[in-house]
Structure 1
Amino acid sequence: MSKPLHIAVTSTEITLLDSAQKLAKSLFLPYIEYSKQEKFDFILALTLTGLYLKDLGKKSLGMLRIDFLQGKLAYRLHHLHNQKQLLAKAVGLKVNFKPTVLDATAGLGSDGFILAQLGCSVTLLERSPVIFALLRDGLNRAIKHPKYSLLSIKLIQTNSLIYLKKISTRKETPDIIYLDPMYPHSAKSALAKKEMRFLRQLVGDDIDAVNLLALALVYAKQRVVVKRPRLAPYLAKLKPQHSIFGKQHRLDVYFTHLFQGLNFRPLPTL
């Protein structure tokens, strides 16, 4: 088991002190002065341009900020036309059908944001309080822009397994449940893009991904879509009804009506 990470919150401006201290309290993290960072693995820094996560380790990944308006993430969102088409096909998007989508593994929120851009009503679930804070900051800045002000996107900080187990009626369930579990680390993925390496350090592998798939198959009205590396085995070794291939990833699509009544249930969790 890896050692617990030591994370603190700070601010770069005196005018942000109150907001930063409230953020620290909400995350149950200590607040420190900006000059006193040396005892921590990461700091969340509230600045005039947004919330940053800074890696203070010896092999530092630098800083991470979720920004849908500019920078590398925004560039990818605006230019990945093929990925948008793949996602649209996977969720069954049509001119007269804009599904409700529950993204149960939000992470940095890029796929959920794309689905919202395509016209879907999206709910993002993120279990990590730190990633949640970063994503909330990025979304809050994005929806203030006229281009994105009408997007239907909601963010909830929760454990997705618990969230799904509390859904009691079909009316409350989404048309689509989207899963992008963290794929187990290997030597070949050591040079994965910086954002994914940040996520892995903070949340590790998604060891409950099989259980999440089992619940998703019960509660999604129409489909479960699972994002996987292109050559990775099927999640839980469960063959989908069809797969949609991109250059690096594939989207496995499960039609949930075919699984009703089957004995595919989540494993007990500790």
Structure 2
Amino acid sequence: MPTAVSSIAVWSDDPRLRPCAEEIGSRLGLPLGDDAPVLLRVTPERLELVQTGEGAPGPVWIDLGAVDTRSAGGARRDQPLSRAVGLRQGVRRVVDATAGLLHDAFLLASMGCEVVCVERSGVLHEMQRDALERGASDPALAAACARMTLVRADAREWLGGLGAAARPEAVYLDPMHPARRKSALVKKEMRLLRLLVGEDADAQELLAAAIGAATRRVVVKRPGHAPALAEGVVGSHKGRAVRYDVYSGRGGDV
């Protein structure tokens, strides 16, 4: 289950940044304070999420500069993500309906796609805004960031409300999935994401909405060991640890 609002507060250790923290808290309906189990913390460098208490991991923030856009696993058009989305077939308008930490959205934007990033968590949306603002001032990131648009919404409802002219060619989904019991310690980023968004129990509903909105295809990212999210997969592209399952969109032209 997602973290309760009462367990998150907004804070800054720098008194000069407290008004900014208070403004963010007002937008999110969160209190200002430093004694909650999870803090959305404003620093001079960034907006970060951190668990408090003994043994808690370090802070998490969205660092687009750390996204690998050079290797075979990065923003190359011959790698599994680009093949699954259909860059070779001319797909350029993409909705990332589970935008999260923006990793895959930034990769797609680096490949030349126009990406609408939809996120229902208000906390993550604020972190995304901060990341794009920082990225826009970095010459190495600015072009890709300019191709990314942020939307705070429940993607199921948002996709269902799109008119014909606004429908994307592709919708990308990376729903949260149950952690493997025998896997290594889950990364701190994933642990905090689970606290915020839970296990995405409505992922199949989101897939149905995505298929109804996409004019060409829907791509679902899955762990390599996991079954397909639903029947109807028309193709799969495998990476080292993940798999991208492709479904036909409403137009049927993948």
Q: TM-score, normalised by structure 2?
A: 0.90
2:214·2:251 contact (CA, 8 Å) conserved in 1?
no
Using the alignment, how far apart are the partners of 1:82 and 1:3 within structure 2? 32
Deviations 1:134-187 (A, max 9, x none): 1221121012111222231011111111111212x3211000000000012341
RMSD: 2.1
User: Which residue among 29, 44, 57 is the counterpart of 2:40?
Assistant: 44
Structure 1 position 17, deviation (Å):
2.1
Question: Aligned to 2:62, which of 66, 79, 88?
Answer: 66
Letter in 2 for 1:8: A
Give 1:242's aligned residue: 235
Q: Which has the higher contact order (CA 8 A, sep 6+)?
A: 2
Does structure 1 residue 162 correspond to structure 2 residue 157?
Answer: yes
For residues 206 and 57 of structure 1, do their structure 2 counterparts lie closer, same or farther at Cα, with a shift above 3 Å needed?
farther
> Structure 2 CA distance, aligned partners of 1:247 and 1:149?
29
Question: In the comparison of the two structures, how many residue pairs are matched?
Answer: 247
What does the per-residue CA deviation read over 1:211-236, in whole Å, with 9 as the maximum and x for residues that have no partner? 01111111101010000001211102
Query: 1:237-262: per-residue Cα shift (whole Å, max 9, x none)?
Result: x14111000010000011225769xx
Distance 1:79 1:60 in 2: 32
8 A contact 1:227–1:250 mirrored in 2:
yes
Q: Does 1:171 align with 2:170?
A: no
In the alignment, which of 131, 136, 141 is matched to residue 138 of structure 1? 131
In the TM superposition, residue 92 of structure 1 has moved relative to its aligned partner by 1.0
Aligned equivalent of 1:97? 90
How far off is 1:107 after superposition?
0.8
Counterparts in 2 of 1:161 and 1:2: CA distance versus 1, 3 Å: closer
Aligned to 1:264: none
Q: C-alpha displacement at 1:98, in angstroms?
A: 4.9
| Percent of paired sites with the same residue | 39
Structure 1, 214-223 or 141-150: larger mean CA deviation: 141-150
Q: In the alignment, what sits opposite 1:267?
A: none
3-state DSSP class of the match of 1:205? coil
Q: Match of 2:215?
A: 221
Deviation at 1:192, TM superposition (A): 2.1
Q: Does 1:209 align with 2:203?
A: yes
Distance 1:203 1:182 in 2: 8
CA shift in 2, pair 1:126/1:247, >3 Å: same
Give me the whole-angstrom Cα distance separating, in 2, the residues matched to 1:58 and 1:165.
44
| Secondary structure in 1 matching 2:157 | helix
List runs of 5+ in structure 1 lacking aligned partners: 261-270
Gaps of 5+ in 2: none
Distance 2:96 2:23 in 1: 27
| Rounded Cα–Cα distance in structure 2 between residues aligned with 1:178 and 1:198 | 22
Q: What's the counterpart of residue 52 of structure 2?
A: 56
Contact 2:3–2:195 (8 Å) recurs in 1: no
Once residues 211 and 180 of structure 2 are traced to their aligned partners in structure 1, the CA distance between those partners, rounded to angstroms, is: 28
Question: Aligned match of 1:184 in 174, 178, 185?
Answer: 178
Return closer, same or farther for 1:86/1:62 CA change in 2, 3 Å cut-off: same
Distance 2:26 2:81 in 1: 37
Question: How far apart are the structure 1 equivalents of 2:250 and 2:32?
Answer: 49
2:26 corresponds in structure 1 to 25
Instruction: State the 1:12 CA deviation.
Output: 2.4
